[in-house]
Amino acid sequence: MARTVFLVSDRTGITIETLAHTLLTQFGAVHHKTISLPFIDTEKKVVAVVRRINEAADRDPESPVVFSSIVEPELRDALRVCKGLVLDMFDIYLPLMEKGLAVRSEQAVGRAHAIDDISRYESRVDAINFTLSHDDGADTRRLQAADVILLGVSRSGKTPTCLYLALHYGVRAANYPLTEDDMDRGGLPDFLVPYRKQLFGLTITPERLQRIRTERRPDSRYASLAQCQKEVRWAETLFRQKKIPSIDTTTISIEEIAVSILHKFGLSRESY
């Protein structure tokens, strides 16, 4: 790797990782290795980080890049002396914001991912528990409490999407797998009919579904292209006939599916 990218933060580093990742994807040609250094919250730790950065500067053909979200001004000063390109998130944004908002910032550590209050924490955990107990059609009784109910054939991405919705947005997300039994019965299971407004379909191309299922059960009927085609075609017809909004998950990530669903339902995004 030609260059080392350091992600330095005084807490989890989640913000700076997300930001750096997005920015670096705009430099496809830059070959780099990323090193995350969270919880850098003392002078001593910053000095150790500076040493690591300087070692990379001496070793690598290209100069290191340092994304930092450290808040404390003294620690930021101590980091700035390293032999790397330091992109300090607060240095970059706070002056622009202070000017625009005409308010001074507080430069206080650990605000972003701290627990705010117990009821907020509880409602997030409730959403997670609801989602776990309504995964894969497991519990069909308390469906009236669901914010969304995802439908799709096996391996179309329902479970990861539901968990993401619960964990990140406190959304109570149930899911129900469309199977051959439903095909044989010819429609939406009866118990789902009252919840038409909460339903959302996930679809996928038969080719991708075949590849995903093959990883799991190679050479099975379940993973055969014919079976995938049959199930997907049926599910898509169902979504169309019942006017269930749906999304094709073939080329998009769990994050994108989740945000598309929130967007579609106009659910408020209580972001955690």
Residues 98-127 that bind a second copy (CB under 8 A): 100-101, 103, 105-108, 111-115, 118-119, 121-122, 124-125
Cα torsion through 194, 195, 200, 201, rounded to 10? -30
CB of 91 to a second copy, least distance (A): 10
144 binds a second copy per the rule CB under 8 A? no
CB closer to a second copy, 11 vs 172: 11
Residues 59, 96, 144, 197: which binds a second copy (CB under 8 A)? 96
19: Cβ contacts below 8 Å, ≥ 6 apart:
67, 69, 89
73-80 helix and 43-59 helix, angle to the nearest 10 degrees: 20
Say if residues 143 and 191 touch (Cβ distance below 8 Å): yes
Tokens of 220: 């099975």
CB of 146 to a second copy, least distance (A): 18
97 binds a second copy per the rule CB under 8 A? yes
Say if residues 57 and 28 touch (Cβ distance below 8 Å): no
Cα atoms found within 13 Å of the Cα of residue 92, Cβ hemisphere only: 10
222 binds a second copy per the rule CB under 8 A? no
Residues 162-221 that bind a second copy (CB under 8 A): 163-164, 167, 208, 211-212, 215
CB of 84 to a second copy, least distance (A): 9
17 binds a second copy per the rule CB under 8 A? yes
Q: Would you call 101 exposed, middle or buried from its count of C-beta atoms within 10 A (0-12, 13-18, 19+)?
A: exposed
CB of 242 to a second copy, least distance (A): 24
CB of 163 to a second copy, least distance (A): 6
Distance CA 268, CA 264 (A): 11
Identify which of 260, 238, 266 has the alpha carbon closest to the alpha carbon of residue 248: 260
CB closer to a second copy, 241 vs 253: 253
> Which range of residues in 24-32, 43-51, 183-191, 195-203 is near a second copy by CB under 8 A?
24-32
Residues 57, 183, 225, 252: which binds a second copy (CB under 8 A)? 252
